Amino acid sequence: MIELELADGLAVVTINRPHARNAIALDTMDELDKAIDGAAGARALVITGAGDKAFVSGGDLKELAALRTVEQASAMANRMREVCDKIASFPGPVIAALNGHALGGGAEVAVAADIRIAADDIKIGFNQVTLAIMPAWGGAERLSRLVGRSRALLLAGTGEILTAAAAERAGLLDRVLPRAEFDAGWRALARTLATPAAGSIKRVVDGASPPEAVAAFAELWVSDAHWAAADRVMNRGK
């Protein structure tokens, strides 16, 4: 089950499959795809899991065990890669709020986001190699961009599982919060990022050309939101 929450420019997508530790099955891929479509128009997007045990524990092996041919495996990998690509290309900032462990495919979903914030007791690892397979949802490439080629090869090649603190040191996580502060912390961060300027800032960070960046700034400059904020600043203390 995938849940979608929309409020004040922020979309929160929650993977809620407690019986499978939030693992991804074929139906989950379709539901997640639809939820991201349903978030269209939001200024920021959060992907998280239900509970405090698992963000996403990977692919649902019990469900995916029926896939026994190269063609079936390829179709499944392509389908979830499309979903992860859709997460990565969302117009506004995407935050992966790691409420629990992110293992295998779960780590791939996490690195599809722009920002990863985690509770301090979670673990994350690209441990597909323990099943004699490899990351196939775009995670290996994204991991390499985050932590560098050699470290990505080491992590995915050994299947090493990192604590939150170690993952933050490696550059895999952006912020780690005490468990007691986690829910309030990721929501506060997400609300801060869900601004009218968020999409434009993401485009510039992603490599928009100087003329595109200036055009985006100019559009924001003449917006009602900018002048309302400017008026509050100029009239402060009066």
Q: Could you give the 3-state DSSP secondary structure of residue 122?
A: coil
* pLDDT reported for residue 137: 97
Q: Measure Cα distances from 189 to 117, 168, 174 in Å.
A: 9, 17, 12
**pLDDT at residue 238 is higher than 80:** no
175-199 average pLDDT score: 97
* pLDDT reported for residue 20: 94
Task: Write the pLDDT tens digit of every residue in 88-146.
Answer: 999 999 999 999 999 999 999 999 999 999 999 999 999 999 999 999 999 999 999 99
* pLDDT reported for residue 236: 82
* pLDDT reported for residue 188: 97
Burial of 188 (0-12, 13-18, 19+ CB in 10 A): exposed
> Rounded to two decimals, what is the model's pTM?
0.94
Among 171, 189, 161, CA closest to 101:
161
Task: Write the pLDDT tens digit of every residue in 200-226.
Answer: 999 999 999 999 999 999 999 999 999
Greatest CA separation for the chain: 72
Confidence class of residue 39 from pLDDT cuts 50, 70 and 90? very high
Q: Could you give the 3-state DSSP secondary structure of residue 115?
A: strand
58-68 average pLDDT score: 92
The proportion of the chain whose per-residue pLDDT surpasses 90, expressed as a percent, equals: 96
**pLDDT at residue 237 is higher than 80:** no
Nearest-angstrom CA–CA distance, 103 and 56: 7
Alpha carbon 68 to its chain's center: 29
Would you say the C-alpha torsion 61, 64, 65, 68 has a positive or negative sign? Answer: negative
Q: What is the dihedral of CA 93, 99, 104, 105, to 10 degrees?
A: -50
Q: Could you give the 3-state DSSP secondary structure of residue 21?
A: coil
Nearest-angstrom CA–CA distance, 196 and 185: 21
Contact 107, 86 (CB under 8 A): no
Alpha carbon 193 to its chain's center: 14
The proportion of the chain whose per-residue pLDDT surpasses 70, expressed as a percent, equals: 99
